[in-house]
A and B are shown apart, each in its own frame.
Chain A
Amino acid sequence: MNKLHFKVGLFAVASLLLAGAFVVYLLHARGFFEDTFHLQLAAASADGVAAGVPVVFSGIEIGRVTTLGLNEEGGIVIRAEFMGRNAKWLRENSTFTLDKPIVGGAKIRVDSPDLDAPALPDDATVLLLTADISKELPVLVERVKAVLDNVEYLTRKDGEINATLANVKTVTGRMTGEYGMLESILGSPEKARAVTDSLDKTRALIGKLDGLAVKVDGMAGKTDQWLFAPDGVAEQTRESLAQIRLMLNDAQSSLKKADALMTNAVEISADVKEGTQDIAALRAEIDDAVSKANALVNKINKMWPFARDPEVKLP
Chain B
Amino acid sequence: MAAIAVLPEDVARVALDLPLRANLSALENIALIPLYQRHYNAAESARQAQAMLDQLGHAGIALLRDPDMTPAQRFVTKLARALILKRPRLVIDRPGAMLYDVPYPAFIGQLAARAEMTGTWEIYDFSWNQVLYNQALDSE
Asked if A and B form a direct contact in the complex, defined as CB atoms under 8 angstroms apart, the reply is no
A interface residue numbers (CB < 8 A to B): none
Which residues in B have some Cβ–Cβ distance to A below 8 Å? none
